[in-house]
Structure 1
Amino acid sequence: MKQRTGYRTLRGALLVSAAAGLLISGQAYAQETGQTEPTSQELEELVVVGSRIRRDTFNAPSPIQVITREESTLAGLTSAADLLQGTAVTGGTAQINNAFGGFVTNGGPGANTLSLRGLGAGRTLVLINGRRVAPAGTRGAVGSADLNVLPNAMIERVEVLRDGASSIYGSDAIAGVVNVVTRSDIEGVTVEGQYNRPFNEGGEQGRFSIVGGASGDRWKVAGSFEFYEREELTLADRDWTRCNTDYLFDPTTGESADYIDPLTGRPKCYPISSTGSNGVTINTLGTASMAGVAAPGAVLADGTIPTVFNRWRPNAAITTGDLPGFEGVGGPGGIDLNVRDTFDPRMLNESLISPVQVYTAFGQASYEFEALGNAEVYAEFLGNKRDSQQTGYRQLSLDYAVGSPLLPESMQDLAPFLGPQPITNGQNVAARAFIGFGNDKSEQSVEYYKGTAGVRGDLTFLPDWRYDANVSYARSDAKYMFEQFLIDRLSESLDVVAAPAGLDASLIRRAADGSSITCRVNTTNPARGCVAAPVLNTQTLAGQLPEDWVDYVFRPVIGTTVYDEWNASASVDGPLVDLPAGEAMGAFGVEFRRSEINDTPGEDMINANLYNFSTATPTRGDDSVIEAFGEVEVPLLANLPFIKELTVNGSARYTEYDSYGSDWTYKAGGVYRPLEWLSFRASYGTSYRAPALFEQFQGATSGFLSQQGDPCNNYGGPNVNPNRAANCAAELPGQPDFQQTQSIRVFSQGGAAQGLEAETSDNLTLGVILQPELPEAFGEFAFAVDYYDIKVENGVSRVGSAALLSLCYNDPAFRSGGGYCRFIERDENNALTVFDAYTNIATQIVTGVDYSMRWTRDIGPGNFRFNAQLSQYLEQKDKLFPDDPYDNYNGTIGNPRWTGTFDASYRYAEWTFRYGVDWIDGMDSTTYLEVDPAADPYVFKVDDYFEHYLSVQYAEEDWSVTAGVRNLFDKEPPQISMGYYNRVGNAPLYSGYDYVGRELFVTLSKSF
C-alpha cells in the first residue's frame, strides 16, 4: 500500500544524520543514533516545513530545526508549550507563559504563545501537519495560537523554520513557522504518565495520556487523550520572591542603599509592586493636611521632623494633634512614601505561576479509494479544554464623604480631602482609607475545537502530479471571570442614613457613634437589600472587613470570547520538466480563510461600573482573505567539478484581504554545494500582514489607572530614577513632593476606524554548512552557520498605558524627543491622559547569527552524541516614528546577545544517558537606561545564567522509564534594581529564567 500523506515520515524513525547535517540549522535529533545517510529505499518523499514541494531529502534554502519526541522526553518537558518556549527554539527571546497571569497579555491570562526572533506571537505561525492552528484565548486581544491546545501525546516531531515564509504560508509567517507533525503509524495502545516534582513546595506538574491506533489494507485510524495539570506556585513558595526590595547599593561603599523599615530595621518589602519602592500602600488614611505626630522614619528631605501630614497610620498611643490615634506617614514637604505600610501576609498568596488543567483529545483517520487517482480521504479532529486560574491581591481605596455617619466623631468636621469621587454620590471626600483588601481570583475556561477533512491523490492526466484539497473549521469558545468592586454597590453602601423602625435587622449596621444606620436605598425600597459599608476605624484600615459587605460589593464579572476560523485550500504539485541536473518541481494552490471574533465583556465592565478598573466595550469584527500561491524549484547544475549541486527555489503569493486590499509577496533562495562537505544557502523574502482582528476591532476602552500611577508622585524623594526626577521637575517645577489626586484616564481601542494599515517586512538569510569527511575513528561532524536580517516596517503596535508612562518619564529626551511622550497629555490641572490605540508606529530590525554543531561517534559498546546550538543577536532595535532615532536594546535585560543550548548523550543497548545545559548571556541595561554605576545606586546588570539537566532512560520494546533532574543546581534568577523593569521578587520578569527551581521528573510508558 502506497502511503499518501502530505507530511510523510521516514520508515521507522526520522533519520536526520548525514543528510540532515547539511541541511538543518539547529538541533536535529535522530531517534536512532549512529545512522549513515538514508538511502532511497529507507526514505519516502516528505514535505518539510518551509516548502510545499515534496522531496526525498531535507535539502532547502532555509534553516530548519527538527526536535523529536524522544528529546523532549529526555529533557523532562511536560508539554509542547515548554518545548517551544525553551531557549533552543526561541533563542532566548521573551515569551508569554504561565508566569504572566497577573499582567494584561494578548490571549488573556493562562495563554502560552510563541514569538520567534522577538518579533511577537502575531508574526509567528503555528501549524499542525502543515495546517494552521487558529487563535484561542480570552478577552478581546485574541490573535495567536495558544500552545496549550497542541496534542502533546501525538507529537512525533516539531519542525521549526527559522526564516520568513509569508509567500509559502501566508501573512503571519514573518519571523518563522513551527510545524507540529503527529505520529502516523500507530498500532496498539500506549499508556504514558509523567510527574515533575520540585524539591521545594509548589509548582508540581503531572501528565497522563493514552495513544492508540490501528490499520487495515486501505485504512488507518489513530488518536489520543491526555490530561495535564500544573499546581499553583505562589510568592510564598520561594525564598527569593517573599521580599521584593529596592535592591539599591551605595556606588562608593557597595553597601545596601535600600530603604530600611523603621518598624523592622530591615530593608522594606514590596511583594506586589513589580518595580519596588513606593509600592501599594495599605493600612493608611488620607485626609486634608493637619497637625500631628510623625511616625518613625517620617522625616523631610533635609532631615527635619514634620508636624503637618495628610497621610496617617493608626497608633493608639498618639493622643495629641488634630487626629488622635494616628501618626503621620506622609504629607507636604516630601516625606518618603516608603514610610507607609506596604506589606500584608496575604500578598504572598499571589500566583507566581498560574495553575492550569488541560484536557486534549486528538484523532486522525484515512481511507484509500480505488478511484479519483487512488484518492485518500483523510480527517483530523482536535478538542481541547483549558481551565486556568490566578490569585491576586487587591488594594481598596474607600472614600468617606464629608459628614458621613460612617466616620468617627473626631472626623465628622474634617475639611475636604478630595472633590466628589465615583463612589461618594456627589459629595466631597473627607477621608480615603487605603485598605489591604486581600486576595482576588481570576479564572479562564477555554474550549477549543478544530476539525479538518480532505482528499488527496494522483492527477491521472498528469504523470507524477498530485492534488490535495481540504477544509477546516476551528472555534475557541471561552469564558473568563475576575472579581471586581462594583461602583453602584459601593456608592449605595456608602450612602447611609438612620435606620427606620421595623427594617430587617440584616440591613442595619452600627455607625461610629453607635446609632443604627442603613443604606439610603433600603429606606426607599426595603426589598432592595443593600449592605452598609463598614465604619472607618482601625479594623477597617487593616482590611478586617465585614463578610456580608464584601459579598455585596465585590462580585464576579464574567465575559465571553468566541473566535471562529474557516479555511479551505486546494493545491497540486509535481514535476515540471526534466533537466540535466534533475527534475524541476512545482507546487500551486489557492486558499481561503475567514476569521471572526466576538468578545463580550461582563455587563458591569461595558457599563463602566467597575471601581478603579477599566471599562471595555465588545470586540466584534471579521475579515476574510483569498490567496493564490506558487512555488518552483529548479536544479540548475549537478555532479560537476565544484558544483555538486546548484538549485534555486522561488515562490510568490497573491493576497487579497476583504479589509486591506491586495498585495504580492515573494521569496527567492537557493542551495549551492561546491564540494560534498560544503554547502551554501540563501533566501530573501517579503511579507504583507493585515492587522489581526483584535488590532482592528478591539472595543473602545475607557479606563483609569490609580493616581498612584503618576510617575511624578513625590519625584523629589530618594531613590527616584534620575531621568524621571529631571523630567518631572521640568513639567512640575518647584513641586518635588507632588501628589496626584486624580485618576489617570486611559483611552484605547482597535485601529480600524483610525485608518490602521497593513505592515510589511523583508527577510534575508545566508548560511554555510560544513560536513567534512572524517576518518571513521573520529565519527561524524556537522556544523552550520546562518545569518539573518529581518526588518518590519509600518508595524502595528500598542505599547500599554503603564508602560507608556514609564517609558515617557524615564526617557532622557522626554517631550523634546517625541517617541512615547506623544501619547501622554497633562492638562492645566495636572490630570494625566494616556492614548493607547493600535496604530502603525513601529519599525523593528533584528539581525543575528545562528550556529549549530553536531558530533557523533561510537565509543566503547555505545554511541556518543553531542549537540550545540548558539544564537547571537547582532541587532535588536526599533523606533516608533520615522523621525525618531532607533532604540537599540540588544543585550539589555530580557534581550540577550547570546544564548546557547548544549547536550551530550550516550546510548548503550537499552540505556540512554543525557546531560544538557541552557545558557543565557549576561545582560546589561546600564547604558541603555543612562545609569552611571559610579554615581547611581541602581543594578541593571545580570551575569550569565546556566541551567543544567540530567536524565537517564531505559527502554525495552514495549515499555520505558525515564528519570532525571531539571535545574540540577537549583539556579535562581538574578536580581536587578527597582524603577524600570517589571520584576518577580527582585528578578526580571523574563521567560528565560526558571522560577520553579530544581525538580525531579519521572516518565513511564507502556505499550500493548
Structure 2
Amino acid sequence: MNCKSNKLRDAVVLALVASAGGTGVAIAQEGNSTTNLDRIQVTGSRIRSVDAETSQPVLTLSREAIQQTGRTSIADVLQQIATNGAAINTQFNNGGDGSSGIDLRNLGSSRTLVLVNGRRWVSALDGTVDLNTIPSAMVERIEVLKDGASSIYGSDAIAGVVNIITRDDFNGGEAHVYRGQFSKGDGQREGYDLTLGTSGDRGNLVFGASYVKEKAVMAGARKISRDPVYGLGSSQYSGQTADGGIWDLTIDGKPTDDIDTWEDLAGDPATEGRIGMNRWVVNKGADGRNLANYHAYGDADKYNYAADNYLRTPQERKSIYIQGRYDLTDNIALRTDALYNQRTSAQQLAGFPLSAGSYMGGDQGLSKDSYYNPTKGTADARELNWNRRLVEQDRYYEQDVKTLHWYGGLEGSFQFADRYFNWDAGLSYNSNDQIDTQVGDVNMANMYAATGASFMDTDGVVKCGTPGNVIADCVPFNPLSSAGQMPQEMLDYILFTAKDKYQNKSKSFTANIAGDIVELPGGMMGFAAGYEHRKESGYDLPDAFVSAGMSSGNARQPTSGDYSLDDLYLELAIPLLKDIPGAEVLEFSVATRYSDYSNFGNTLNSKFGFKWKPYADLLVRGNWAEGFRAPSISNLFGGAGASYEGYGDPCSSDSPYISNPNVAQRCAAAGIPASYTQREAYGDQTAWPFDWVSNQGLKPETSTSKTLGLVYSPNFLQGFDVSLDWWKINIKNVISRPQVTYMLDQCYVEGNQGWCDIVNDGLTRNALGQITYLAMGLQNLGETEVEGFDLTMRYSLPDTRFGAFSFIWDSTYMSSYRTKATPDSDWDPSDVGTYVKDSPTWRIRSNLTANWTYGDFGASWTTRYFSSLVENCKYPGVASLCSDPNRVTANGADPQHKLAATTYHDLQVRYNVPWNATVSMGVNNVFAKEPPVSTQAFANNFDYQYDTPGRYYYMEYRQRF
C-alpha cells in the first residue's frame, strides 16, 4: 500500500498520529518551527515508526466505535469482539464476583495481557484483570494485538495483548448522560461522566469523573432461566424443601436411631436390602412437633431455587481519572496519570439448603431432646435427619472494591549523530483493596447448639440446654417449621455475616529507550531496549468462621505471598529492502526478553517477524514468538479451599476396573479392604470435603505462537482492504489441577508410581477404605494447542447523495482446539464446536458493522454471529433437550444436543444537534433473539457469553463545550 495512492492508509496513519499522545512524542527541529511527522508506537512493538503496519495483526477500536456499541463497560465492549472466548462477566452469579475480563482465543483471561497506555494494569490474585476498573469515558481507543508478545511485554502475553489508550491531548469539556433498560422493564442502567481538558504550549491536563449503575435482572423474570432445567418444570426442582422435613432411616420399614447407627448399618451385610429411607414434610402452617402434622414427601414439596437467583448481577462504579504532561524543556516532558475507581457489586442465591444428620453429611441431627423434635418424649425418641431451606433469607454476596493507580515519569527525545532517539522512565503503583460481605451463610457452631437439647422454661420461653443448665445467649432452632414462619430471632442466631478481605498490589520501575542505529537499504534500522523491576504481592483473608470451617459454605484458608522480578529486553527493526521490484518493503523484526523471577528463576523468550510488500497493494506478514505465563500469587500461595468433588475410586467394588487383577493387587497393597465400596457409589460426589491447594514449586507455562497472513488494499478499489491471518498457539507446562478420578486411575489402574506418590502424599482413608480427605494440588502438567484464522474486511464507499457508507466485517475461525492432561498423554479430540460448562468453543465468531452518515445524522447496524455447538445429552429422552438421542460412535452410545447458531442485531441512530451535542438512541438484540438452551450450562440454561434475553433499549446525550 503506497502512501501516495491509498487514501485509507493515509487516514489510518493520520488518525493514529493525531491520537497517539499517550504513546508518541513530537520531535521539534532545532532552528525552525517545522516538525517531523510524529512517530507512533503500535501495540506489539516498542519501536516508534511512521508506519502503522507491523508484522503482527492488530485490531483497533476507535472511540467512535466504542460509543456505537451502546454499552456502559469496556469489558462488555471487548467481550463482543470475534477473538474473545469465555471471560467472566456480570452474568456470572453463582461463582461470580462482579468482575469482567477478556479471554482471547479461549485460552483464559490470565493468558491475555491487559495494558493501559502500554503499561501493565492492576491484576487480581489469580493474574486476571477486571476491566470494570477502567471507565469507558477515559478511553480514546483500544488496540488488540492478536498474537503473543512476551518478548516485548513479559509474562501473560500468550494469547494476545489488549492495550487501552486513554484520552490525552483534550481541550474543552464533554458531559455524557446514559439511560437504558431491557424490554421487560428491568436491568436498568444509568451512566454519567464528565471530561475536562486543557492544552497549552508546554503541556496538557485531562480530568474525568464517571458514575455507572447497573441494576439486576432476576432469573425468574425470563422464561429460559426461571426453572432449573428449561422445559422440565418442577421435576428438576430441589429436594431441599422450603418447609421443614425429616429423612427417617428404617430397617424393615421401622424407624431406627439413624444418627448413631447409620455407619454401622451401611457397612453391615446383615442389613443389606433391609435399609430404607422415608421422607416426611411438615404440613403448611402446622406444628412440626406433632408427627401427625406431616405428609409423605412428593413432587409438590420440591423448591424452585432458580427463580431466586440473579440472572444479571447489579453493580455500581465510581471513578476519578487525571492525566497530564508538562514539557520541562523542548525535549523532556513530565508525565503522570492517576485513577481511583470504586466498584460495589452483588450476587444472590436462594436461601441456604440447610440439612443435618448422618445421612445428610455426617453432621449432628436434631437432638431427641430438642423441644422441636416430634419424637421427644415418645417411646421411639431419636435424633432426626432433617432439612429446611432458609427461604426467609436469600444468600447475598457483596463486593466493595477500591482500585488505585498512579504513574509518574519522564519521557523525552534527542538526536545524536544524526540519529533519532526517544526514552522514558517512570514508577507505577497499582492496588486493589476488596472487602466481600456474605449474608445468609450459617454459623455451624450456633446451629449445633440450637438443634441440641432445649426445653420450654417456666417463663414460657424455649431455651437451649436443660432445666438448671441453660446455655446462655442460645436460641433454639426449629428446622421443622413451614416456609415463612421462621422467627427472626432464630435466623439471627444461626446466621452470620462474613467479611473477607483481599488485596493485591504491584509496584514497578520501567525504563525504555528506542531509536535509530544504522541506515540500511530499506531504511533506518531501529531498536528498543528496556528494563523493568516489578514486585507483586497480595493476600486473601477469609472470615474467621470461614477459615475455621464453621460456616455452612466451603472452608477456605488465608492466602499471602509476594514475588519480584527483573526484566531486560531488546528489540530490533531491520528494513532490508525498499522501493525495488518485488520488494516495495522487506523488513524483519527480532526481539528477546530475559526475565529473572524470585520464585522460580529465569526464562528467555524471543520472537522473529517479517513484513514484505511484493508490490504496493499487498502486504505479507508473519511472526514466530515464544511466550510464558508466570504462576500467579494464588497459584503459588493460595490457601487450601474445600471442594466436594465427584469421582470414581478404581478400588471400589463397583468400579469397572476392580476385576482387573493388577488393579486389585495395587489396591490391596495400599491396605484397602477387598469389601470396600465407595460410599456415594462410583462416580458420585464425596460426602467429605477435599482441599484445593496451591504449589510454590510451580514453573511458568511456556508457549510458542505462529502467525502468517496478508493484507490486500487494491489501488483500483479505494477505501477497501482485507486481511487474512493464520495463527497457531501451543502452550506447555499448563498449570492445572488434575481431577480426582484421573489421579486415582493413574495410580491404581495405570500403575504410575509417580502419581501414587502424589496421591498418597495428600490422601487419607478410613478403616473401611473410604477416602475422607485428598489434597488436590496444582501441577505443571497439561498441554494446549489452538489454531485458526482471522479475517477482517473494511470498505468505505465513496460519498453518495444518500450519505457516506462504511462496513467492517471481523471474523475468527477456530479450526482446532486440543488438550492433553500430561506430556505423555495422547491428544484429546478437538473441542471446536463443543460445549461443556462455562466453555463454549465456537468454530466461528463474526461481527459485521454497517455505518451510515448523512450530514448531522448517523446510524450503525451491527450483526454478531455465534456458530452452533454440540453438547452431551443429560436428558436423552427429552426431544427438546437432546436433538440426536440415537447417536452412536465407535465407543458406543453417545447422544448429543445441538445448540443452534445464534445471531444478534444491534441498531443505533444519532443526531448532532446545533448546540454542539449528540443524541443517540439504540436497541441491542433488535429481534429479541433467545440464547440456545443448554443443559450443560452451570446456571440459567444458557452460557454466560450469550446476551441476557430480551431487547435492550438505551438513550444517550453527549454535550461538548
TM range (shorter): 0.7 to 0.9
User: What is the CA–CA distance in structure 2 between the aligned matches of 1:307 and 1:565, rounded to whole Å?
Assistant: 63
Alpha-carbon deviations, 1:183-229, whole Å to 9, x = none? Answer: 12211111001122110132121111000001222121101000011
1:368 aligns with 2:327: yes
Deviation of the 1:118 alpha carbon: 1.1
Highest relative contact order (Cα 8 Å, sep 6+), 1 or 2? 1
For residues 156-206 of structure 1, what are the alpha-carbon distances to aligned partners after superposition, in whole Å with 9 as ceiling and x for unaligned? 110000000000001111111111111122111110011221101321211
Partner of 2:424: 468
Q: Which stretch of the first structure deviates more once superposed, 431-440 or 444-453?
A: 431-440
Among 698, 717, 722, the alignment partner of 1:783 is 722
Q: Any residues of structure 2 matched to 1:900-915 within 5 Å, and which?
A: 900-915=846-861
Normalising by structure 2, report the TM-score: 0.83
- Tell me if structure 2 keeps the 8 A contact 1:73–1:962: no
Q: Secondary structure at the match of 1:584?
A: strand
- Cα distance between partner residues in 2 of 1:617 and 1:676: 62
DSSP-derived class of the 1:404 partner: coil
Residue 575 of structure 1 aligns to a residue whose secondary structure is strand
- Aligned partner of 1:590 among 531, 549, 554: 531
Alignment match, 1:69: 63
Counterpart in 1 of 2:792? 852
CA distance in 1, matches of 2:379, 2:588: 82
Deviation track 1:104-143 (CA, whole Å, cap 9, x = no partner) reads xxxx61111211111111111111111110114xxxx442
| 3-state SS in 2 of match to 1:552 | helix
Query: Is 1:191 paired with 2:185?
Result: no
| Partner of residue 962, structure 1 | 920
Paired residue secondary structure (2:220): helix
Residue 152 (structure 1) shift = 1.1
Deviates more, 1:118-127 or 1:489-498: 489-498
**Is residue 2:690 matched to residue 1:746?**
yes
Pick one of 778, 782, 785 that aligns with 1:842. Answer: 782
Secondary structure in structure 1 of the residue aligned to 2:420: coil
Aligned to 1:119, the other structure's residue is in SS state: coil
Match of 1:171 in 2: 155
C-alpha spacing 1:19/1:243, structure 2 compared with 1 (3 Å) = same
Out of 249, 256, 265, the residue aligned to residue 288 of structure 1 is 249
- Find 1:618's aligned residue among 550, 555, 558: 558
Cα offset, 1:647, TM superposition? 0.3
Q: How does 1:444-843 map to 2 (within 5 A)?
A: 444-459=399-414, 461=416, 463-483=419-439, 484-498=441-455, 508-509=461-462, 517-519=463-465, 528-534=472-478, 537=480, 539-540=481-482, 542=483, 544-611=485-552, 613-701=553-641, 703=642, 705=644, 743-752=687-696, 755-774=697-716, 779-798=718-737, 804=739, 828=768, 830-831=770-771, 833-843=773-783
Pair 1:974-2:927 in alignment: no
C-alpha displacement of 1:990: 3.3
2:851 & 2:624 partners in 1: Cα distance?
36
Residue type at the aligned position of 1:128? V
Distance 2:554 2:834 in 1: 32
Q: Specify the SS of the correspondent of 1:940.
A: strand
Give the secondary structure class of the aligned counterpart of 2:450. helix
* Residues 61, 671 of structure 1: 8 Å contact kept: yes
Q: CA deviation at 1:414?
A: 8.9
List runs of 5+ in structure 2 lacking aligned partners: 1-5, 20-33, 255-272, 358-364, 661-674, 877-881, 888-892
Distance 1:347 1:1000 in 2: 26
CA distance in 2 between counterparts of 1:576 and 1:705 reads: 61
1:635 partner amino acid = P
- What is the aligned counterpart of 1:934 among 872, 883, 886? 886
Separation of aligned partners in 1, 2:80 and 2:743: 32
| Count of residue pairs the alignment pairs up | 870
Structure 1 segments unaligned to the other structure (5+ residues): 1-14, 32-39, 248-257, 259-266, 294-305, 330-337, 417-427, 510-516, 716-723
The CA deviation string for residues 743-795 of structure 1, in whole angstroms up to 9 with x for no partner, is 2321122111xx22222111111111111122xxx543211111111111001
Q: Which residue of 2 aligns with 1:303?
A: none
Pick which of 756-765 and 404-413 moved more: 404-413
Q: 1:99: Cα distance to partner? A: 1.5
Report what 2:867 is aligned to: 921
Q: 2:40 aligns with which of 37, 41, 46?
A: 46
- Matched residue SS, 1:96: coil
Checking the alignment, whether the CA contact within 8 Å between 1:80 and 1:147 is kept in structure 2 is: yes
Give the CA RMSD over aligned residues. Answer: 3.9
Q: How high is the sequence identity, in percent, across the aligned residues?
A: 25
Is residue 22–residue 782 contact of structure 1 (8 Å, CA) maintained in 2?
Answer: no
Indicate yes or no: 2:11 matched with 1:17: no
Counterpart AA for 1:240 = I
- Hey, what does 2:956 align to over in structure 1? 1003
Cross-structure match for 1:96: 88
**Cα gap change, 1:954 to 1:741, in 2 (>3 Å):** closer
Q: Is the 8 A contact 1:29 1:68 kept in 2?
A: no
Q: 1:466 to 1:691 in 2, by over 3 A?
A: same
Please state whether the residue corresponding to 2:307 is helix, strand or coil.
helix
Q: CA deviation at 1:18?
A: 2.8
In structure 1, the residue corresponding to 2:224 is in which secondary structure? Answer: helix
- Contact 1:962-1:1002 within 8 A present in 2 as well: yes
Query: How many Å separate the matches in 1 of 2:585 and 2:685?
Result: 72
Match for residue 389 of structure 1?
Answer: 346
Q: Does residue 342 in structure 1 map to residue 302 in structure 2?
A: yes
Classify 1:618/1:896 alpha carbon distance in 2 versus 1 (closer, same or farther; 3 Å). same
- CA distance change for structure 1 residues 796 and 279 in 2, over 3 Å: closer, same or farther? farther
Deviations 1:648-693 (A, max 9, x none): 0011111000111112111110101101111110111112322011
Take 1:398 and 1:316, find their aligned partners in 2: how far apart are those partners?
20
Shift in CA distance, 224/145, structure 1 to aligned 2, threshold 3 Å = same
- Aligned to 2:113, which of 110, 125, 132? 125
Which residue identity lines up with residue 700 of structure 1 in the other structure? A
Which residue in 2 is equivalent to 1:312? Answer: 279
Alpha-carbon separation, structure 2, partners of 1:739 and 1:891: 27
* CA distance 1:238–1:808, shift in 2 (3 Å): farther
The alignment status of 1:984 with 2:945, answered yes or no, reads no
Q: 1:892 aligns with which of 831, 834, 842?
A: 834
Distance of aligned partners of 1:18 and 1:314 in 2 relative to their CA distance in 1, 3 Å threshold: same
Tell me the SS of whatever aligns to 1:551: helix
Per-residue displacement from partner, 1:438-493 (whole Å, max 9, x unpaired)? 51111100000000001111246564212100101111111011132112111221
Compared CA separation, residues 929 and 885, structure 1 to 2 (3 A) = farther
Per the TM alignment, residue 741 of structure 1 is displaced from its structure 2 partner at its CA by: 10
Q: Render the CA deviation track for 1:499-531: whole Å, top value 9, x for unaligned.
A: 6667xx7xx32xxxxxxx4346x96577x4111
CA contact (8 A) 2:83 2:812 kept: no
Q: Is the 8 A contact 1:203 1:996 kept in 2?
A: no
* 1:405 equivalenced with 2:393 (yes/no): no
Preserved contact between residue 366 and residue 373 of structure 2 (Cα < 8 Å): no
Partner of 1:58: 52
Per the alignment, do residues 198 and 807 of structure 1 end up closer, same or farther by CA in structure 2, a change over 3 Å counting? farther
Residues of 1 paired with 2:456 and 2:240: CA distance?
A: 40
Q: Give, in whole Å, the separation in 2 of the partners of 1:739 and 1:279.
A: 22
**Taking structure 1 as reference, are residues 633 and 577 closer, same or farther at Cα in structure 2, changes over 3 Å only?**
same
Q: Deviations over 1:398-457 (max 9, x none)?
A: 4434522335444666989xxxxxxxxxxx953222435451111100000000001111
1-structure distance, mates of 2:547, 2:57: 47
Q: Residues 341, 737 of structure 1: CA spacing in aligned structure 2 closer, same or farther, 3 A cutoff?
A: farther
Q: Secondary structure at the match of 1:167?
A: helix
Aligned to 1:110: 98
